[in-house]
Structure 1
């Protein structure tokens, strides 16, 4: 028998594959389902059986204590933990204490929020790793832009904020008002 005539998988591997597609709670078949948190295996007898399992098992990392650190709320030691959006530093006394260390947010100098005229705009990072700029008075003010804000006034509509844009033709400044979006070359 040549290599091309051999089956790709042995009978034993197919038996194991079938075993993982049987619900351990009710014995029904498992099927691939899609939800807001991603793809998973779920029992076809849903809603009578609510068994689910991740398609890919991720390795769980144990919390690692940070000696010499102290939670500012309760005084317990801080730990490196694994969460839904990746690694973070939080209190080892969870769930009694919910303290999480936050990265310092960079406040953009001299840029006042044009929406509330009270807060300052600060740089933040989304859970997908993209930068955006929002008012530090959130949740009272929900002003947000995706490009770096610059103090200035739009030549066309006189909106009090411009966005710095790196275009193929060089740096241009765009009006931050979504209704206008006028592009100008100089401040």
Structure 2
């Protein structure tokens, strides 16, 4: 066996050791189970023993204060923190101040809702991270579109909103009326 094979073999043995572990609460075997949040180790003696633990242990990172930065809400320092969705920059005075700095400043859309004519269309993200645009008068108004809205009028049906579409032939504008969907120049 060469020196380069030895580390690979020891990693393989280490993986086998983790496969047969015992529950620290009741002494039964731990098995890999699958739930809505992913895989985890669970006690084989379930429901009598409800011990669980994650398959991958994530290392906890301490908050790192950013010197020279200032929270716009309370003037305390900002810090790099770890949350359930990853790393982010927030106020070091949490929970008294809940300021979180976002990656990019979203350009505010100034497009009126064509349905209720009271609200504005705002950019939002669904639970999978995909952008959509909805009326800020929700739940009274349920108008929603999947592409960036642009003020303009459809040449065919006269609907007061167009959607900006990035097509292979370049940027095109489409009528936001689902019954029409005509392309504009």
Question: Taking structure 1 as the reference length, what is the TM-score of the superposition?
Answer: 0.71
Aligned length: 178
2:184 match: 185
Per-residue CA deviations over 1:32-70 (Å, capped at 9, x if unaligned) read 223232222222333332222222222222111123423
DSSP 3-state at the match of 1:70 = coil
Contact 2:175 2:184 in 1 (8 A): no
* Pair 1:62–1:43, CA change in 2 (3 A): same
Contact 1:91 1:99 in 2 (8 A): yes
Q: 1:76 and 1:169 mapped to 2: Cα distance?
A: 50
2:71 match: 70
- Residue 106 of structure 2 is aligned to residue 105 of structure 1: yes
Q: 1:42 and 1:72 mapped to 2: Cα distance?
A: 44
CA RMSD across the alignment: 3.4
1:39 match: 39
Shift of 1:160: 2.4
Gaps of 5+ in 1: 3-7
Q: 1:165 and 1:121 mapped to 2: Cα distance?
A: 17
Shift of 1:97: 4.1
* Pair 1:97–1:29, CA change in 2 (3 A): farther
* Pair 1:134–1:105, CA change in 2 (3 A): farther
Q: 2:76 and 2:139 mapped to 1: Cα distance?
A: 30
Aligned counterparts, 1:9-158, within 5 A:
9=9, 13=14, 16-19=17-20, 21-68=21-68, 69-70=70-71, 72-73=73-74, 76-102=76-102, 104-109=105-110, 111-124=111-124, 128-137=128-137, 141-158=141-158
